[in-house]
Amino acid sequence: MPIDLRIASTSAPVRRTPLYAVLACEGEQPKLPAGIEIPALAWKEFKGERNQQRLADASAGPAARVLLVGLGKPKDLDAERLRRAAAQVVKKAEALKLDACVLECPAALARSAGSPEAAGCALAEGAVMGSYAYQKMKSKPTPRHLGRVELRGPSARFARGAERGRALGTANCFARDLQNAPANHLTPRMLAAEAQKLARGSKRVQCKVLDERGLERLGAGLLLSVSQGSSEPCRLIHLTYRPAGRARGTLAFIGKGLTFDAGGISLKPAAKMDEMKFDMSGAAAVLGLFHALDALGCAHEVHGVIAASENLPDGRATKPGDVITSMNGTTVEILNTDAEGRLVLADALTYVRKQVEPDLMVDLATLTGAVVTALGHEWSGLFASSTRLRDALVAAGERVGEKLWPLPLEDFQKEWMKSQVADLRNINDPSHGAGSSAGAAFLAPFAGDTEWAHLDIAGTAWGSMNRDWVGGPGGSGVGVRLLFEFVQSR
Ligand code: BES
Ligand code: MN
Ligand code: ZN
């Protein structure tokens, strides 16, 4: 159950609350409203340093306790700091076993974080995302204490931003629920059912699902070859959002949806193999985007295409050395069955080019372990066919606190992916290194001359404990707010 986030004005009366939280930068002493008083010592000890928290019992006024939260130097203040601070507040309230709290954003703060809209949005996102906990697999879920959070801000613009932030935080949590679902609770068919459920509940979103027969008819040999070793059939999920008026353009987003990746015949080692339930995080991001589009809308026609499959070893599984024909006719020598993400994405890219013909397409995939080595858990790897698309994605990432780092993709790297036997091979020679670029280089010919970007989210989709708003272990919902911001700002 997500928290009930109420949005109010700082001029509204302050009702009784167990906790009143106030944010402040270094050197600032915010005014407490409605006669709330705390000991002088608490003010003395609170320096406003980044991540500093000072809890004090209130001696007067409608709040039982006050939490002062530091934001660091005023010149470093941005939306991400507010997002993280809001997440810290709700986590503290939960740790104190409180059922409600108030979070106030003073007028000066709302202005200095870009705009009042941006401040309201970031604080609401932080509060919603920071209180996320995955409990679906518990026979007796531990009851959550914090039920209600009142977010108080100075203006109508702040409130509008907060409404938007609440919807985006909710979409992020929706994606995280999908990521965290164990593979036996979320098969490719169940992922397709989730997409259909989303479309059924929405006026503007439609969903079409292709099963194996439909995929055979289209010649989706690569996607079919990956699911061949599993008794679960694969699916291609196609979501469409249509705006009320004339669409400003057509955008397509493609998600890798491996509901489990054991590696196939090129079997993975046992350690951490359980984490490969997260190999559908690209798909979760795309579904989360449509959750947000349903709630908030946008001016573009947006397509979401998900290639959903398992990758398991079996008597019928694809073998190293097998050659498979893709949807666009290119033949591929499979030298490592664990490099399966690029295979399912290749057919999805062809599908989008043929069926949608978008202005541009962006794929998201937990594609390579190498990107975790290169960038860790805070930056997703970015490959783009144009500097314009690259810069637009980096800027959107900066605004939502989901950072992207451009990595190289050059023509000589595409040569690495040529096969002696077939047209292409699915891995490069180990002596080349640059495993993440090789993955992108394999995809590039399938994107053809369509403007295209590839996001490798293997490091950021889970394991990012440093970001307060992630709120614990498991999926981060990375990509949802990034894609929505990108679509809206275009
Ligand atoms: N899903 C994995 C990538 C991955 C590995 C994500 C670890 C997060 C953590 C992908 O399908 C894969 O297995 N990639 C291989 C490619 C290799 C065989 C060229 C990898 O990165 O090892
Ligand atoms: Mn793999
Ligand atoms: Zn994989």
> What letter does residue 92 receive in the DSSP assignment?
H
Q: What is the pLDDT of residue 332?
A: 99
Which of these three, 121, 156, 191, is where a domain ends? 156
**Order of strands across the sheet that contains 100-104:** 4-9, 148-153, 100-104, 17-24, 63-70, 53-57
Same domain, 325 and 241: yes
State the ligand closest to the CA atom of 368.
1
User: Which residues form the pocket of ligand 1, taking CB atoms under 6 Å from any ligand atom?
Assistant: 261, 279, 336, 338-341, 366-370, 372, 427, 435, 458
268 in active site = yes
The answer to the question of residue 312 being in a domain is yes
Same domain, 141 and 202: no
Which of these three, 156, 190, 213, is where a domain ends? 156
Say which residue the tokens 């909710």 belong to: 170
Say which residue the tokens 């295979």 belong to: 343
Q: What is the pLDDT of residue 157?
A: 97
**Order of strands across the sheet that contains 424-425:** 323-325, 331-333, 424-425
Instruction: Measure 371 CA to ligand 1 centroid, in angstroms.
Output: 9
Same domain, 124 and 203: no
Set 152, 164, 176, 342: catalytic member: 342
**Average pLDDT in the chain:** 96
For residues 374-402, average pLDDT = 97
Going by alpha carbons, the residue nearest to atom 14 of ligand 1 is 368
Q: Which atom of ligand 1 is nearest to the CA of 366?
A: 6
Same domain, 98 and 148: yes
pLDDT confidence tier of residue 69, bands split at 50, 70 and 90: very high
The answer to the question of residue 165 being in a domain is no
Distance CA 90, CA 68 (A): 13
Instruction: Measure 156 CA to ligand 1 centroid, in angstroms.
Output: 47
Question: In the predicted model, is pLDDT for residue 294 greater than 80?
Answer: yes
Same domain, 325 and 381: yes
For residues 327-351, average pLDDT = 99
Question: In the predicted model, is pLDDT for residue 314 greater than 80?
Answer: yes
Which of 112-121, 235-244, 415-424, 441-450 has the least mean pLDDT? Answer: 112-121
AA letter at 156:
A
Contact yes or no for 168/484 (Cβ under 8 A): yes
In this predicted model, which residue has the larger pLDDT, 62 or 31? 62
Instruction: 92-98: list long-range contacts, CB under 8 Å, 24+ apart.
Output: 92/19, 92/21, 92/53, 92/55, 92/67, 93/19, 93/21, 93/67, 93/145, 93/146, 93/149, 94/131, 94/144, 94/145, 94/146, 96/18, 96/19, 96/65, 96/145, 97/145, 98/18, 98/19, 98/145, 98/146
Q: What is the pLDDT of residue 469?
A: 77
Q: Domain of residue 38: give its range.
A: 4-156
Q: Which atom of ligand 1 is nearest to the CA of 263?
A: 13
- Name the residue of 333, 335, 368 to mutate for ligand 1: max ligand atoms within 8 A of Cβ: 368
State the ligand closest to the CA atom of 458.
1
The answer to the question of residue 172 being in a domain is no
Instruction: Measure 338 CA to ligand 2 centroid, in angstroms.
Output: 4
Distance CA 84, CA 334 (A): 44
Count Cβ atoms below 10 Å from residue 274 Cβ, excluding itself.
11
Instruction: Measure 262 CA to ligand 1 centroid, in angstroms.
Output: 10
Q: What is the pLDDT of residue 385?
A: 98
pLDDT confidence tier of residue 468, bands split at 50, 70 and 90: confident
Q: Which atom of ligand 1 is nearest to the CA of 439?
A: 19
pLDDT confidence tier of residue 153, bands split at 50, 70 and 90: very high
Going by alpha carbons, the residue nearest to atom 5 of ligand 1 is 369
The answer to the question of residue 277 being in a domain is yes
Same domain, 289 and 333: yes
Same domain, 353 and 481: yes
pLDDT (tens digit per residue) in 410-461:
999 999 999 999 999 999 999 999 999 999 999 999 999 999 999 999 999 9
For residues 88-94, average pLDDT = 97
AA letter at 78:
D
Distance CA 18, CA 172 (A): 28
Instruction: Measure 261 CA to ligand 2 centroid, in angstroms.
Output: 6
Q: Which atom of ligand 1 is nearest to the CA of 370?
A: 21
Count Cβ atoms below 10 Å from residue 402 Cβ, excluding itself.
28
342 in active site = yes
The answer to the question of residue 162 being in a domain is no
State the ligand closest to the CA atom of 258.
3
Instruction: Measure 334 CA to ligand 1 centroid, in angstroms.
Output: 15
Distance CA 183, CA 100 (A): 35
Q: Which atom of ligand 1 is nearest to the CA of 258?
A: 1
- Name the residue of 275, 334, 337, 338 to mutate for ligand 1: max ligand atoms within 8 A of Cβ: 338
Same domain, 217 and 325: yes
Q: What is the pLDDT of residue 34?
A: 82
* Structural domains counted in the chain: 2
Same domain, 112 and 73: yes
Q: What is the pLDDT of residue 83?
A: 96
Set 50, 268, 390, 490: catalytic member: 268
Count Cβ atoms below 10 Å from residue 78 Cβ, excluding itself.
16
Instruction: Measure 267 CA to ligand 3 centroid, in angstroms.
Output: 11
Helices (H), 131-187: 156-180
For residues 373-395, average pLDDT = 98
Question: In the predicted model, is pLDDT for residue 250 greater than 90?
Answer: yes
Q: Quote the pTM value.
A: 0.98
Going by alpha carbons, the residue nearest to atom 3 of ligand 1 is 368
Q: What's the Cα-to-Cα distance from 268 to each of 44, 186, 275, rounded to whole Å?
A: 55, 20, 11
The answer to the question of residue 169 being in a domain is no
pLDDT (tens digit per residue) in 158-215:
999 999 999 999 999 999 999 999 999 999 999 999 999 999 999 999 999 999 999 9
Which CATH number does the domain housing residue 28 bear?
3.40.220.10
Contact yes or no for 285/404 (Cβ under 8 A): no
For residues 353-370, average pLDDT = 98
pLDDT confidence tier of residue 143, bands split at 50, 70 and 90: confident
Count Cβ atoms below 10 Å from residue 335 Cβ, excluding itself.
17
The tokens for 237 are 């999920």
Question: In the predicted model, is pLDDT for residue 471 greater than 70?
Answer: no
Distance CA 216, CA 196 (A): 22
Going by alpha carbons, the residue nearest to atom 22 of ligand 1 is 369
**Which of 415, 443, 419 has its CA nearest to residue 342?**
443
Instruction: Measure 14 CA to ligand 1 centroid, in angstroms.
Output: 52
pLDDT confidence tier of residue 112, bands split at 50, 70 and 90: confident
Percent over 90 (pLDDT), the chain? 94
Which of 25-34, 97-106, 475-484 has the least mean pLDDT? Answer: 25-34
Q: Which atom of ligand 1 is nearest to the CA of 338?
A: 13
Which of these three, 100, 127, 156, is where a domain ends? 156
State the ligand closest to the CA atom of 307.
3
For residues 468-473, average pLDDT = 74
